[in-house]
Chain A
Amino acid sequence: MDEDGLMIHLEDICFGYPGRPSVLDKLNLSFYGGERMGLMGSNGSGKTTLFHIIMGLLKPSFGRIEIMGRPVKEEKDFREVRKRIGLLFQDADDQLFSPTVLEDVAFGPLNLGKSQDEAKEIAVRALESLGLAGFEDRITHKLSGGEKRLVSLATVLAMEPDVLLLDEPTTGLDEATEERLVDILKGLDVSYILVSHDLDFLKEVTFGITCMSNGTIVRDDERIPHTHIHVHEHGRYAHEHGRKWPHDKG
């Protein structure tokens, strides 16, 4: 497989949850190897849904999906996809299910046919790379929210995927951990699509930011008029800018 080939190609994907207006409407996406794409969009715009469609967890009502140059339709095809693409769920509680951290992280490698020793080694390495050395025997559902996030990421990294789909990886992380995540992401040798609402974070770890709205991907080069809201000293008190205060001189 060539590194810079077309990894994910979506054509006219339509999807709607039963009894609701459609979430994705003729969505097109081309994602190339080596790319690091940031994905933004308002709450409920369908980012999570898009990821689940790529992984074959939801079936589009219309459209074509090609992964690594091959069309994928059935569950059987998606099984291969899941070996190459790792999804970090928005909610870490969905991702962790084994009693202990080590077992959970090793679950993926074991499924990929690694031996027990290999799987253990991969798991330990994945945990270490996230600064989670010593977490092996912790009980997964007794971790803090941020710890669960990181362990979830370790479970995905342990699959050694070519492409990562990261659904809001920074929620619940403190500043120091977020910085560590930035370093980790920068050091990784994988392509990824990253959903986040944090523009500064996205700027740091991605090469370009794409927006989702009205069920489609808005092209990067399009300029969208928008307003900023920013934090402001004395914002609590009504005041006008440019007005001269009595004690101001000049």
Chain B
Amino acid sequence: MIEELSGRDSLIHRLDPRVKIVLVFLFSVLVAVSDRFLVLLSALALGFCIALLARLPVKQLVGRLVPVNLFIVFLWFFLPFTFEGEPLFSVGPLVGTHEGVLYAARISIKSNAIMAVMIALVASTSILTLGHAMYELRIPKKLVHLFFFTYRYIHVIHQEYVRLVSAMKVRGFRPGTNMHTYKSFAHLVGMLLVRSSDRAERVYNAMLCRGFRGNLYSLSTFSLKSYDVISLVFMLAMMLALGVLEWTKMV
């Protein structure tokens, strides 16, 4: 899990988690609503700069971006052909349009830019701290829980998966194209769901036993330092510039 990197130190790690959350949120909204390529590409560059500033190993960063981009590749198979507009190319009876390609390109850039800052955020802040910071920002408790437990349970599922796969491997399982493989995989998926939900319940029980009442606390106190304020102002200025760029396109 990427939060393992949260114990490291970097400019981004040292930033107040509340500032990080606010900035990531504003950045994501800005990127999501922008259309102009100049703006999107700048945002993408900015996103990667932030991820690098968080001293994320490039390999890790790319590794996390792969699943998102697999999904995007999938979109590229559909979007160019489903948009009305100027024909650009054709594959058999299917006609790819100029607009469709642009739309797909926008989505690709937007997703990568947003993912980059999200990864930087999660990799530079421990999950409990993040939860605590969200409370401080007056985000509703239910949402914070949803976030926290989704994150936790993804982790649980992953751990169970690793365990099950090793259990199969040590007994000589080698995937192939036969009934035994399909059956084993079906069992794997079934067991994964059952075991993860059991485990999740037990972990939750263990939390209850240690006095968990729905509040997440952090070991660190948050205090806005001048460094945080400077970063906040700087990033807001950058985003404002991007926003102006986007807006001037329309007028």
Q: Contact residues of A with B, CB < 8 Å?
A: 52, 55, 57, 79, 82-83, 86-87, 89, 91, 93-95, 97-100, 102-103, 106-108, 110-112, 116, 119-120, 137, 139, 141, 155-156, 159
* B77-85, B105-113, B177-185, B208-216 - the one binding chain A: B208-216
> B3 in the interface, Cβ–Cβ < 8 Å?
yes
- Would A57 and B205 count as touching, CB distance under 8 A? yes
Give 5 nearest A-B pairs by CB, closest first. Answer: A111-B211, A110-B217, A108-B210, A94-B202, A57-B205
Q: Is the CB of A97 within 8 A of B219?
A: no
C-beta contact mask, B123-149 vs A, less than 8 Å → 1, else 0?
A: 000111000000000000000000000
Interface residues of B in 65-82 (CB under 8 A from A): none
Q: Which of A79, A99, A139 contacts B213, CB < 8 Å?
A: A79
In the complex, per-residue mask of B1-34: 1 if CB is within 8 Å of any chain A CB, else 0: 1011011000000000000000000000000000
A116 to B213, CA, bound (A): 17
A-B contact count (CB 8 A): 83
Q: Is the interface of A mostly helix, strand, loop or mixed?
A: helix
Q: Which residue of the partner chain A has the closest CB to B158?
A: A141
Which chain B positions have C-beta within 8 A of A137? 7
CB distance from A178 to the nearest CB of B (A): 23
Across the interface, do B213 and A111 meet the contact criterion of CB distance under 8 Å?
yes
Is A119 within 8 A of B219, CB to CB? yes
Question: CA A107 – CA B209 in complex, angstroms?
Answer: 11
The answer on a CB contact under 8 Å between A106 and B209 is no
Tell me how far the C-beta of A224 lies from the nearest C-beta in chain B, rounded to whole angstroms: 32
Interface residues of chain B: helix, strand, loop or mixed (majority):
helix
Distance in angstroms between the alpha carbons of A93 and B212 in the assembled complex: 18
A116–B220 touching, CB < 8 Å: yes
Contact A99 B152 (CB under 8 A): no
In the complex, which residues of chain A have a beta carbon less than 8 angstroms from the beta carbon of B128? 98-99, 103, 107
A141 and B158 alpha carbons, distance in the complex (Å): 12
Q: How far is the CA of A206 from the CA of B180 in the complex (A)?
A: 51
Contacts of B7 in A (CB 8 A): 99-100, 137
Chain B residues near A107 (CB-CB < 8 A): 128, 207, 210, 212, 217
Kindly state the separation between the CA atoms of A209 and B69 in the bound complex, as whole angstroms. 60
User: Closest residue of chain A to B203, judged by CB?
Assistant: A97
Take A94-B199, A99-B3, A100-B126 as given contacts and tell me if A55 and B209 are in contact as well, using a CB distance cutoff of 8 Å.
Answer: yes
Q: Which of A79, A102, A111, A112 contacts B219 (CB 8 A)?
A: A102
Given contacts A79-B213, A99-B126, contact A94 B206 (CB under 8 A): yes
Across the interface, which residues of B come within 8 angstroms of A86, CB to CB? 209-210
CB–CB B206/A89 < 8 A: yes
Is B221 interfacial (CB-CB < 8 Å)?
Answer: yes
15 CB-based A-B contacts, threshold 8 Å: A57-B208, A87-B209, A89-B206, A91-B202, A93-B159, A94-B203, A95-B206, A98-B128, A99-B3, A103-B128, A107-B207, A111-B217, A116-B218, A119-B217, A119-B219
